[in-house]
Chains A and B, each alone.
Chain A
Amino acid sequence: MEMAELEQKVCKILADNLSVPEDQVTPSARFQEDLDADSLDLVEAVLALEEEFGVTIPEEEMEGVRTVGQAIQLVAAKLGVAA
């Protein structure tokens, strides 16, 4: 999978999961401030990402994740997709 495709997929999943318009879900968007996602929303969103990509994202790895871009990087690293 190319990075661009991965990015698109992650954004789509997050938009669906957080019930926000897709055009708001950009790499620079911050979960809490821009997408109105609280801690439970994030747990649910991670579950959806894990399900879609068949990866495991432990809680401690999510701790520093504040933006959509960081989430994309996390998934990319798990899948070995290069930027």
Chain B
Amino acid sequence: MNRVVVTGFGPVTPVGVGIDAFWEALTAGRSGIDRIQRFDPSGLPVQIAGEVHGFAPEDWMTPKEVKRTDRAVHFAIGAAKLAWTDAGEPSVDRARTGVMFSTGIGGLDSLLKQHLVLLEKGPDRVSPFMVPMLMPNAAAGHVAMAFGFTGPNACITTACAAGSHAVGEAFRLIKYGLADVCIAGGTEASILPLTVAGFAQMQALTRNPDPAKASRPFDKNRDGFVLSEGAGAVVLEEAGRALSRGARIYAEVCGYGASADAHHITAPEPEGLGAIQALQAALEEAGESPDGVEYINAHGTSTQLNDAAETRAIKKTLGDHAYRTAVSSTKSMTGHMLGAAGAVEAGVAALAVHTGLMPPTINYETPDEECDLDYVPNQARQGEVRLALSNAFGFGGHNAVVALRRFED
């Protein structure tokens, strides 16, 4: 069985593009949420979101590729190339290099634009590029093309858990010898009037009009998540090859737990049973006991239901040690990047292991008796992080937990 390490990370997020800007913002506790600027949100029930700024797709793709792909693919290509550069552009056997690139929603913007063409101009005017632009797996295909990687390639669409599933499944590909290297990531570009309306109708979005204060995971006055966009990609490598090429290793991916709530299509199982199953599976695969966990990058969406159920799941899994574990939600700053979140946050957990720096949960002001853990309130913390977990739970009842630890040869 192979060991698997993280050697590169590429974030494209509302708080920053590229690892330096991203990590600086996150550890400074800076929010990336603002009033929606890509379209006029007047008239919508929610007018804030986490948009990516300072990202030009032309920096990463040819003009023709930019035109023929959805914004979700632009982010994915940017994140994958950033991660690959960060990993030192290793030379690889292309057939042994895989891509797992997830999304929650796919190219919805492209779909909606062409639907308008259909209604206004008729079927003969619909673009032949509509299908390849809207399909959720487009990012996985385009990332493979950008690098020429012909190894295993897929897109897992499990809503807000998708990015974590990509990392976990890529980890397994390398662990079981089906690939040497993988780019694993998630992408999302679905801040649109329709999605804002849809998520708002579910009562899933915060109605807090103050952008920087709206995402407040685990705070008593949380009232929903902030819709965000972005992408994240990590480069995973078989440990031996990473060592022999002298790669900088952020962390070892040592466990992955996946489960289903089998309870409700959107509400979490209130006792967190599905999440507990995934947490326990990740720890078991890692061969770690629950009291070894030093940091958890929580799913922490800032909805009443998630944060309470997640807290219960962490307490049930870690027992008393839960109170000695630092748990933070970086969604307090990035908002919820849906299918990209898990990939970005696995990168955060890897950086926490690498640096010992744990980003805070910002906007944590009023404790909630249901959420009584150490959420690293408002200020980043320096400490020992040997073992970290990254949680992701998605509509559909999907749970995915990735375990990362300091790599020791």
Binding site for B on A (CB under 8 A): 18-20, 36, 40, 43-44, 47, 50-51, 56
Contacts and interface: CB of A to CB of B under 8 A. Distances in A.
B176 interface: no
B64 A47 contact: no
Interface residues of B, number: 10
Interface stretch (B43-51, B124-132, B260-268, B342-350): B124-132
Contact of B125 (A18, A19, A47): A47
Nearest to B127: A44
The 7 closest A-B pairs by CB, nearest first: A19-B64, A43-B128, A19-B63, A40-B128, A44-B128, A19-B67, A44-B127
Contacts of A18: 64
A40 to B, nearest CB: 4
Nearest to B126: A47
B62 interface: yes
B129 A44 contact: yes
Interface of B: 62-64, 67, 124-125, 127-129, 132
A19 B62 contact: yes
A36 B63 CA distance: 13
A41 B129 CA distance: 8
B50 to A, nearest CB: 30
Nearest to A37: B64
15 contacts: A18-B64, A19-B62, A19-B63, A19-B64, A36-B64, A40-B132, A43-B128, A44-B127, A44-B128, A44-B129, A47-B125, A47-B127, A50-B124, A50-B125, A51-B125
A56 B121 CA distance: 13
A18 B125 CA distance: 17
Contact of A40 (B63, B125, B129): B129
Contacts of A47: 124-125, 127-128
Contacts of B64: 18-20, 36
A18 B132 CA distance: 17
A5 B129 CA distance: 29
A51 B67 CA distance: 18
A36 B64 CA distance: 10
A72 B16 CA distance: 47
A35 B19 CA distance: 37
Contacts of B125: 47, 50-51
Contacts of A51: 125
Contacts of B127: 44, 47
Nearest to A39: B128
A1 to B, nearest CB: 23
B125, B128, B132 — which one has the most chain A CB atoms within 10 A of its CB?
Answer: B128
A20 B63 CA distance: 9
